[in-house]
Structure 1
Amino acid sequence: MLFSEQWLRTLVDPALDTEGLGHLLTMAGLEVEEIKPAAAAFSSVVVGHILSTEKHPDADRLKVCQVDAGQGEPLQIVCGAPNAEAGMKVPCALVGARLPGFEIKKAKLRGVASFGMLCSAKELGLSDDHGGLYRLSDDAPVGQDVRELLDLNDAIIEISLTPNRADCLSLIGVAREVAALTDLPLTLPAIAPVPPTIDARREVVLDAPAACPRFCGRIIEGVDAAASTPEWMKRRLERSGIRSISALVDITNYVMLELGQPLHAYDNAHLSGAIHARLAAPGEKLLLLNEQTIDLDADTLLIADERNVLGMAGIMGGEDSGVTLTTRDLFLEAAFFAPEAIAGRAREYGFSSDASHRFERGVDFALSPVAIERATQLILEICGGAPGPVTVAESVADLPAREPVVLRPARARKLLGIALDDDQIASLLERVHLDVRRDGDTFIVTPPSYRFDIEIEVDLIEELVRLHGYEKLPAPAPQGSLAMLDKPEDRRDLWQVRRLVADRDFQEVVTYAFIEDAWERDLCGNEAPIRLANPIASQMNVMRSSLIPGLVQALTVNRKRQSTRVRIFEVGRCFVADADAQPVPGYHQPVRLALLAAGTAAPEQWGQPGRAVDFFDLKADVEALLAPVAARFAAAEHPALHPGRSASISIDGEPVGYIGEIHPKWVQKYDLGTAPIVCEIEADAALAARLPEYAPISRQPAVTRDMALVLDHGIDSASVLAALEAAAAPIVRAIELFDVYQGKGIDPDKKSLAFRVLMQDTQRTLEDAEVDAAVAALVQRAEADFNARLRG
């Protein structure tokens, strides 16, 4: 909202400069976005009266003017403006005057001396109009400073209002705030009922009382619609961002800016019968003042007579309903429209208006009779005419109610942290015209009709802090007690996990939790992902159930930028539909860790030949991350992975994740180049860090035995190793697989697994018999569980 500072100061004039006034408003919640001068800086420009003009002897387009500028003797000024003529009064810049961008000096134009300059609006910085001299009013005193005459020592203030402060969409509303903040009296314009001098009236019918519970109308006959709008009114309108159109339209706009009540003036000669506030009928159309024809929806509130639709209520009038310069009799409307009936309607039809901006936020429902009297006053002063009685149609039951709100002073003091006593609280609230009544230890506060925003106790507490001053609130240093919390030694945190992964030459990435449904379907096998109702982009329309798609997508971006070696990881939350999930019913949100390695196993170097990263490289990284917890890897299938090069990961028999090579079809579809190796595990698995257990160092020699077992090709070594460890005697310290053989001497469907068994006792040297017995027990377990035989 724009307004003139001088206009505001006619209503309340605090002892603050312009910047101080802007700061006061901002700190009260009426944020000042900009303060700019009403005109560019210039000096020594006075009212000049052109006494005579003569054609320049050597220039067809120049005139030699004799100008009375109040300097005693007329000034000779050479002027090129086409509209310069004797008798008009114009701005005259004297010698030494400073205009925007230049200074006036004595000059000779084509040999004729010139002692000043007659100015256009553009030369004074008032507008872009440079087609001729700026014409001043005929009664302007000669020699008066033009800045003083035109009130140019003014500032235009622009404030940004929150939607709940519609009461400040008027000069009186802003002035009310300033008066309350500075505890100064408010000088309101004197508005008295205008007695009717004729009996002409028009009936008003409320066909939709819930949408329009109050409608005031008045006929004024014999107006001079061609009368000139006073300069003071034009200036106030223009500095509020509204151009002057005609006297009658300007008056309705002025009252809207002054009081906050939009009005509309109709040519009474074009109306037929009663005025109706009703909803649109099927198939109705309307040609608006902006020359736009619209098809009306059934829930659009209209103003109509017995014959035609006159306009959209509270938004814009129809083309055939407005006043013109030939209007003699007018019908003036001031109504209250419920915000629910107006909100969003203008945007639905693709436009907006000052009236809709106010009505959809809430206009004072008690203001309609006052506004119509104020507009009548101004019309009679400027355009003349004879007013009829005010017709008021209203549905009192549908008017808004201002319910009392209970305020507990103790609650206010606790929330604000300031010691306001009860008398101070009452005084602050009464300054904003709230009706305050004490009831024991509480206040019963009733807001006025224009305060839509006060409904509950905290609204009143907000008023208190605004009026007291946000900058006056104490700012004590925060206080709190700190306690050292227990941290289990057998648990890591996610930051430690991140550091461990980074130490393995991986870089962390953060990807969106929103992904394309094709990625979810291909890489997660999820045909029913969690879909977003309002995705930020069409290709980010579902929630991820795995981190793998995000890492693969990051790899594609790196591949396009010629990154040959990529090692990345992410720790993040995934989203899986689960009816029994907690704490969010219907959605399980596990935190997971995912790793991806692509390209060469190591950076290019001279010390070792280059080779592509493989399954076992990433498996080693996972084992190092989970250590000392032992993880088991077993062949398994996953929608994203190569079926022969993937495995499940489990700890203590519980599955915790998957590892493997991306399936060739996804490598081809997503243009990944060589197949990357990926792994995804539950974050809880990586957080486990078992405490080390003490074991004495043996002084006795260790004994090793190697045994090669021949078994079926389909049996995995991890299962065999787990069975051997379960059957190991107490003297067995470690069992390690060191060789896998297939070839000569072994059946084609068989393979040989060679294990090295380390045995040792801390107190004595082992005997051959017990060593042989321990090895024999291992062989017997392999024979029993896997039908294995000892290779000769």
Structure 2
Amino acid sequence: MLIVMSWLREYVEGLPPTRAVADALIRAGFEVEGLRAVGADVSGVVVGEVVGFELVETKKKSVRWCQVRVAEPAKGEDPAGGVRGVICGAHNFAVGDRVAVALPGAMLPGGFAITARRTYGHVSDGMICSARELGLGEDHDGILVLPPPTPLGADVTELLDLADEVLDIAVTPDRGYALSVRGIAREAATAFALPFRDPGDSGGDASGAGEAYPVVVEDTAGCDRYVARVVTGVDPAATTPLSWSRRLSLSGMRSISVPVDVTNAVLLGLGQPLHAFDRAKLTGPIVVRRAVAGEKLRTLDDVERVLDPEDLVIADDSGPIALAGVMGGAATEISAETTDIVLESAHFDAISVARTARRHRLSSEASRRFERGVDPALAPVAAAVAVDLLTQLAGAQAVPGVTDVDHRAATAPVPLPLDEAERLAGRPYPAEVIRRRLADVGCAITEDDAGRGDVLAVVAPSWRPDLTRPADLVEEIVRLEGYDTIPVTLPRLPAARGITPAQRMRRAVGRALAHAGFVEVLTLPFVAQDAADMLGLAADDPRRAAVRVANPIAEDAAYLRTTLLSGLIAAAVRNIGRGQQDLALFEAGLVFRELPGGPPVARTPPVDRRPTSDEIAALDATLPTQPRHVAALLTGRREPGGWASAARAADWADAVDAAHLVAESLGLSLTVTAGDTMPWHPGRCAALSVAGRRVGHAGELHPRVLGEVGLPPRAVAMELDLDALIDAATAAPPIAAPTISTYPPADRDVALVVPTRVPVAEVTAALREGAGELLESLALFDVFEGAQVGPGQRSLAFGLRLRAADRTLTAAEANAARDAAVARAADRTGAALRA
């Protein structure tokens, strides 16, 4: 909202400099986005009289060589004294007219300096100015022509009050009253304890009984007040005075015609939207009703709109003629020939106007104010002010009588305990301060009906429809007293609490992956509806149970993720599209799974007290399960090439290694078995378990998924249930520090032939168990399948390192441990030593 300070000072006399006003409004809770000085940079412009001119023909256009007198000749001086020649391309003035002349050395808005220069064969000794060039608004007919009695040589800056200041204020949706000079003036007067001259207290003479124009309000819920006034004899040739057109221009509106400018002036000054109908174009009484399905209306922006049955419209016998509170219709528009006008000053339901404006994507100055709440008591006052202005500026005559259809409901008092402000704000507010601040807002205050002196019955003013609860009244008290008066008290934190064990474990996982060369990303938890289809998940896969967001930021991000892979894939595709092919990304975060059978329905607890434990538990029960996962994705090269070695592409083993790295950072060991679940390749997928509990998968992504999402071939990924890993790590016994033996090891190799269906993990576990305490480490270093071992068989070669803590092992002891390991593997898995 642009507030012209000269206009504001008409309502509040004695205001300090504009910067102090801006600071006071900021303290009162308004956001002042800017302060702009206008007109102060204009100098050297005086009033001149055109005493003659001659046409100068050119190839492109016709200009005039004007003789302009800028000062009255003194007695006895040559009458030609003070006359200078000026080239001008406009033709809307004649000899004898008084105009604004910028003399050489003058300065116009924007730092535009005027000099004498030769043009069109003459020396132009200055410049004849238009309204736009002086910053008075848009041009109407070219050069600005001043009234005949304007004194020659007078300073135009002082004559037209060009110097002014404009505040740019951001108004929050709950303060519709502040979208007017009247509303901001009331706040400024309160801030400086100055008298406020309310322009809404009187609205001119509305003498005469009876209706000005017949009005029928069929929908009293959508329109609880409708005021109509009629004026006749409007002079179509009348022009808006410069003072008003400049005021409108500085407020962000273009001067159009006297009737339109008057309605805009009332809108800006009082905050009451008005609409003017051409009376000659109306047929029958004005009717306020809901639209009929299929009705159409061509609005003032020349767009034909198909109306919805929920749209509140203004109609006559011909059908809809305006969208109530949004925009008028072209059929009854004011034109240059209009002489008789019906003025509409009404109060429309905020929600109805907001829905209509959004439904038709048609925001207007009127709808902005009705959406935020307009003072319903202002309708007759605003109409009377507009009639007075039309009478003064356009020679109109007011038709006696006022049509005022009033269906307003009485405002219910709000009970306010005197200690409520202290309870909510945390500092004491004396009773006299509470009463004074509520009176500053405009509230009427009485004692509670029950006669309790500690409770006030507060009736909010008509211009504050947002004050409906005790908390709203407390907010006004706190705001006017100053938010800076509320003491700031930091909470006391118990010492030496630190982070929780689970937090330490999560940080350990992140550090381990980062040290291994992975880059952490944080992706949004919102995914599209087809996210599960992109990953090729089966119909019965629990990861398909996605939760839809009630108010999504976009329809292609309306669901909560059930796996971290969707976000990692999107991040990888974005980086690959920017030329980064070699990626190692990881993310740790929550995933969301819908509860089986859907969430239970919980009753929303009241807001006047803290919810009980049962109510909180019932609300928590409606939430989806939210386990924390960790996932990684690799594409391109895992190891770059160089002079010493060739590059190595990332493969399924790197994804499995990343999973092992996560488990090892928590002191756990993963069991790896063959897996088959999307979105991984069925032959290159590892199922990962801890203590018999499945915690995730790793391996190469399915080629069909890679093609669907746009990743390069052979991309690999892993995903683990981090909460399950942390639970297992918390339940596991403390890790004992290893005993380091100073005696030499004994290395033994064994090659076992086992059926291909037997997991390597089972063979490894059997060897460990059989070797006993002497086994220090065990590593698989070769896998072979072929005719030498037979169909359905494979050879697994393991290296065993044996060592005793108190002696050097003999060959017999080492061989015995090896043989025991082989025997246990044979017993458990059917393995046999390879010949």
Are the structure 2 counterparts of residues 526 and 139 from structure 1 closer, same or farther at C-alpha, using a change threshold of 3 Å?
farther
Are the structure 2 counterparts of residues 756 and 390 from structure 1 closer, same or farther at C-alpha, using a change threshold of 3 Å?
closer
Within the alignment, does 1:602 sit opposite 2:602 as a pair?
no
Task: Report the CA distance between 1:262 and its aligned residue.
Answer: 2.5
Do the aligned partners of 1:3 and 1:236 also contact (CA within 8 Å) in 2?
no
Task: Report the CA distance between 1:719 and its aligned residue.
Answer: 1.2
Please name the residue that 1:75 is paired with.
82
Query: What letter corresponds to residue 512 of structure 2 in structure 1?
Result: L
User: In the comparison of the two structures, how many residue pairs are matched?
Assistant: 787
CA offsets, 1:136-190, max 9 Å, x none? 0123233432122212122233322122211122222221111111111012347
Query: What letter corresponds to residue 786 of structure 1 in structure 2?
Result: T
Q: How does 1:146-161 map to 2 (within 5 A)?
A: 146-161=156-171
In 2: Cα distance, 1:484 partner to 1:349 partner: 59
In 2: Cα distance, 1:306 partner to 1:292 partner: 21
Larger radius of gyration: 1
Are the structure 2 counterparts of residues 427 and 522 from structure 1 closer, same or farther at C-alpha, using a change threshold of 3 Å?
closer
Q: How does 1:210-609 map to 2 (within 5 A)?
A: 210-220=221-231, 224=235, 226-306=237-317, 309-323=320-334, 329-382=340-393, 383-385=395-397, 387-395=399-407, 399-438=408-447, 439-470=452-483, 472-473=484-485, 476=488, 478-485=490-497, 492-515=504-527, 520-521=532-533, 523=535, 525-527=537-539, 528=544, 530=546, 532=548, 542-556=559-573, 565-579=582-596, 583=620, 585=622, 587-599=624-636, 602-607=639-644
TM-score by length of 2: 0.81
In 2: Cα distance, 1:400 partner to 1:620 partner: 73
Within the alignment, does 1:180 sit opposite 2:193 as a pair?
no
CA offsets, 1:67-104, max 9 Å, x none? 25246365111133345533211123456544455656
In 1: Cα distance, 2:117 partner to 2:778 partner: 109
Pick from 717, 733, 744 the counterpart of residue 760 of structure 2: 717
Task: Report the CA distance between 1:43 and its aligned residue.
Answer: 2.0
Query: In terms of mean alpha carbon deviation, does 366-375 or 693-702 score higher?
Result: 693-702
Are the structure 2 counterparts of residues 71 and 579 from structure 1 closer, same or farther at C-alpha, using a change threshold of 3 Å?
farther
Q: How does 1:19-38 map to 2 (within 5 A)?
A: 19-38=19-38
Do the aligned partners of 1:551 and 1:596 also contact (CA within 8 Å) in 2?
yes
CA offsets, 1:538-586, max 9 Å, x none? 7656544333344455555565666565433322333333328995646
CA offsets, 1:727-772, max 9 Å, x none? 6666777666666666787554445556677777767999999999
Structure 2: 5+ residue stretches without partners: 600-616
Do the aligned partners of 2:9 and 2:15 also contact (CA within 8 Å) in 1?
no
Are the structure 2 counterparts of residues 204 and 623 from structure 1 closer, same or farther at C-alpha, using a change threshold of 3 Å?
closer
CA offsets, 1:281-340, max 9 Å, x none? 344333444444333322222333445544333333333435556555544332222223
In 2: Cα distance, 1:753 partner to 1:217 partner: 97
In 2: Cα distance, 1:251 partner to 1:176 partner: 22
CA offsets, 1:569-612, max 9 Å, x none? 32233333332899564633222222344555533245556555
Query: What letter corresponds to residue 576 of structure 1 in structure 2?
Result: R
TM-score by length of 1: 0.85
Please name the residue that 1:623 is paired with.
660
Please name the residue that 2:47 is paired with.
47
SS state of the match for residue 367, structure 1? helix
Do the aligned partners of 1:216 and 1:391 also contact (CA within 8 Å) in 2?
yes
SS state of the match for residue 461, structure 2? coil
CA offsets, 1:363-397, max 9 Å, x none? 211122222333333344442525322232223xx
In 1: Cα distance, 2:339 partner to 2:39 partner: 37
Are the structure 2 counterparts of residues 389 and 656 from structure 1 closer, same or farther at C-alpha, using a change threshold of 3 Å?
same
In 1: Cα distance, 2:429 partner to 2:766 partner: 78
Q: Please tell me the root mean square deviation across aligned C-alpha atoms, in Å.
A: 4.2
Are the structure 2 counterparts of residues 571 and 28 from structure 1 closer, same or farther at C-alpha, using a change threshold of 3 Å?
same
Task: Report the CA distance between 1:465 and its aligned residue.
Answer: 2.9
Query: What letter corresponds to residue 675 of structure 1 in structure 2?
Result: R
Query: What letter corresponds to residue 49 of structure 2 in structure 1?
Result: H
Query: What letter corresponds to residue 589 of structure 2 in structure 1?
Result: G
Within the alignment, does 1:144 sit opposite 2:154 as a pair?
yes
Task: Report the CA distance between 1:362 and its aligned residue.
Answer: 1.9
Task: Report the CA distance between 1:675 and its aligned residue.
Answer: 1.8
Query: What letter corresponds to residue 69 of structure 1 in structure 2?
Result: A
SS state of the match for residue 344, structure 1? helix
Task: Report the CA distance between 1:360 and its aligned residue.
Answer: 2.7
Query: What letter corresponds to residue 669 of structure 2 in structure 1?
Result: A
Structure 1: 5+ residue stretches without partners: none
Task: Report the CA distance between 1:494 and its aligned residue.
Answer: 1.7
In 1: Cα distance, 2:214 partner to 2:624 partner: 61
SS state of the match for residue 461, structure 1? helix
SS state of the match for residue 630, structure 2? strand
In 1: Cα distance, 2:128 partner to 2:742 partner: 114
Do the aligned partners of 2:32 and 2:170 also contact (CA within 8 Å) in 1?
yes
Query: In terms of mean alpha carbon deviation, does 79-88 or 536-545 score higher?
Result: 536-545
SS state of the match for residue 187, structure 1? coil
In 1: Cα distance, 2:210 partner to 2:783 partner: 114
Q: Percent identity?
A: 36
In 1: Cα distance, 2:624 partner to 2:382 partner: 56
Please name the residue that 1:653 is paired with.
692
Query: What letter corresponds to residue 52 of structure 2 in structure 1?
Result: T
In 2: Cα distance, 1:19 partner to 1:321 partner: 44
